[in-house]
Structure formats: C-alpha cells, structure tokens
C-alpha cells in the first residue's frame, strides 16, 4: 500500500514520528549501506520511494551509502548496439567491448540519473564508481567470464570523505586492476565489501522476494531473524538455493567483515527501507 494514499490526521502523524524517534536515535551518525536493485530500480514509483527514503534518513542524521548495479539497462544498451547478452552461472560474460558499455551505463547513465533524482527531492548526492579514488581493486574472476571482477581490496576513503561532507555517496559497481582494466562487479558482492570496510551499522539488500522463507511459495513462513550459524543447515535443507545462495553468502561476508546486521528486504514494497529501519515490525529477514 502506498503510504501517500493513506489518510491520517495530525495526531496520528505525531504518533508515527514519536514511534520512529528511538530508531532515529539508534542510527543517528551511523552508516547504512543500501544495495539497490531489482524491481525497485525499474519501476519509477518504487525508484522514487527508495530515493525519498534515502533522503529522509540522510536528513535525520543517518549516513547512507547507495550501492547499485544496473543489469536491465546494460542488457538494453547491448541490444541497441547489436550485442547478445550471454550468462555463465548467472554472471554476464563481459568482453572488452561489453566492459566499456558496462562502465558507460553504470557509471554514466544509471549513476547520474540516481544522483539527479536524489538532488531533485532535496538530498545532496555525489556519484562515484569503484574506479574513483582506487576504491575497488579487482582481478578476473573466471577466464570464461572475461572482465567480470573478483574484489581484491576496497579503499572506502572516497566514500568516507563524501559522508563527512554531508553527501549521499551513490556508488556504481565497477572495479579496476593495476593495468587499468575495468571490471564488472556483482552489486551484492560490492555492497558487502564496502559495508565491511566501512564497518557499517547495517546493510540493506533489496530483492524481489519478501525475505528468507522456509517455504519460498508461502510468505507466512518468513524468517524474521536468521543467524549466520544457521545458514549452512538452511542451505542443506534447500531453504536457501538458486539465486539466493550468492546473495546470502554476501550477507554472511558482510557480518564476518564487521557489519552488525544485514536486512534482506522486499524492494517491491514502497518505502521498504523506512519500514525496516524506523519501525519495530520491519518486513524482511535480519541476518545477524
């Protein structure tokens, strides 16, 4: 349900704000890394809701870092230039020409459109890529994949500098090696590595599912909290499988790297970020 369509009176508005106060105090001055993707990146209404959430959190003193990919836009551009998208184990095969297009689309079109949207609704944002300031150093993950990168190291200094000056860093997930080659980096992997390097209070992974469920077809089986120690058993039982395996592994990596908690939330729900961070109920799965 769209919050904007819910009619509430002034007293109810005040109660909502008072209810949110302890959560605002908890996150004030702390870093939250948001991995932005899925339907929330394609649907314009959802995109607008996400950016409003990010701006609101920033204005109440939360240091928000937005990390994004842009698979659909890359596929669209490749189609325009007559290149067919190929995938191996869910990762895009990236030759030299495709790597140039990935950099152009992610660090250009997608990144700057998000920065512009944040600015248009009253936020302060700066667009960065993993190449800027030597932020993400990488090497080839698998020779079959070409310029798909495995992260070697993250230098979060450019992000910290932007946060200290009150900006929302918007980070596109490309990296580089010592020879200047640019690599396409999985956005979940990059977000986890950046969150760990920043020792973030939390990381929010936006997906197109409700969270981790014991029965993937029944939202009522949502697991509100999962401990990293429980994950191997959930994998063995098949509760975590397919495309969720790498996403959950990134959550585990973030926790092991020093992030206090990771939320897997449904980006198809308007204002999901605010619901998860500023209410007691939340809506997804918290990994601790």
Phi, psi of 243 (to 5 degrees): -65, -15
pLDDT at 243: 78
pTM of this prediction? 0.92
DSSP string spanning 224-277?
Answer: SEE-GGGHHHHHHTTSS-TTHHHHHHHHHHHHHTT-SEEEEEETTSTTHHHHHH
- 201 SS3 class: coil
Q: From the first residue on, what is the mean pLDDT of each consecutive set of 10 residues in the chain (288 residues)?
A: 58 85 94 93 93 97 96 89 84 90 94 97 97 96 92 97 98 94 94 97 93 86 93 91 86 95 94 91 87
Q: pLDDT value at position 2?
A: 44
Note the pLDDT of residue 92: 85
Whether 156 contacts 194, CB under 8 Å: yes
Domain membership of residue 3 (yes or no) is: no
Q: Residue 7: what pLDDT?
A: 65
Assess if residue 151 is contained within a domain.
Answer: yes
For residue 6, the model assigns a pLDDT of 54
The answer to whether residue 2 sits within a structural domain is no
Residues of the domain holding 121: 27-287
| CATH code: domain of residue 191 | 3.40.1160.10
Q: Which long-range contacts (CB under 8 A, 24 or more apart) does 7-10 make?
A: none
Q: Is the dihedral of CA 212, 215, 216, 217 positive or negative?
A: negative
Please, which residues have CB within 8 angstroms of residue 133's CB and are 6 or more apart in sequence? 155, 157, 158
Residue 117 inside a domain? The answer is: yes
Find the distance separating the first CA and the last CA of the chain, reported in whole Å.
29
Is residue 8 in some structural domain? no
Give how many domains the chain has, as a whole number. 1
Contact 269, 283 (CB under 8 A): yes
pLDDT at 232: 93
Residue 179 inside a domain? The answer is: yes
Is 181 among the domain residues? yes
Q: Is residue 119 part of a domain?
A: yes
């Amino acid at each position: 349900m769209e919050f904007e369509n819910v009619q509430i009176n002034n007293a109810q508005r005040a109660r909502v704000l008072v209810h949110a106060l302890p959560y605002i105090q908890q996150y004030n001055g702390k870093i939250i890394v948001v991995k932005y993707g899925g339907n929330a990146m394609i649907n314009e209404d959802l995109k607008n809701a996400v950016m409003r959430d990010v701006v609101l959190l920033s204005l109440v003193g939360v240091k928000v870092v937005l990390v994004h990919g842009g698979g659909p836009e890359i596929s669209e551009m490749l189609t325009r230039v007559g290149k067919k998208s190929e995938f191996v184990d869910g990762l895009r095969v990236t030759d030299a020409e495709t790597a140039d297009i990935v950099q152009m689309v992610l660090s250009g079109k997608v990144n700057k459109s998000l920065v512009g949207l944040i600015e248009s609704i009253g936020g302060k944002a700066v667009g960065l890529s993993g190449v800027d300031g030597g932020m993400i150093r990488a090497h080839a993950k698998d020779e079959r994949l070409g310029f798909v990168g495995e992260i070697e190291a993250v230098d979060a200094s450019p992000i910290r500098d932007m946060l200290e000056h009150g900006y929302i860093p918007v980070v596109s997930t490309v990296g580089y090696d010592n020879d200047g080659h640019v690599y396409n980096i999985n956005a979940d992997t990059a977000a986890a590595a950046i969150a760990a390097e920043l020792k973030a209070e939390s990381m929010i992974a936006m997906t197109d599912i409700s969270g981790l469920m014991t029965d993937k077809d029944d939202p009522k089986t949502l697991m509100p909290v999962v401990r990293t120690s429980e994950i191997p058993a959930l994998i063995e039982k098949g509760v975590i499988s397919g495309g969720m395996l790498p996403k959950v592994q990134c959550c585990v990596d973030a926790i092991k790297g020093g992030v206090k908690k990771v939320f897997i939330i449904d980006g198809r729900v308007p204002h999901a970020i605010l619901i998860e961070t500023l209410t007691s109920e939340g809506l997804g799965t918290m990994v601790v």
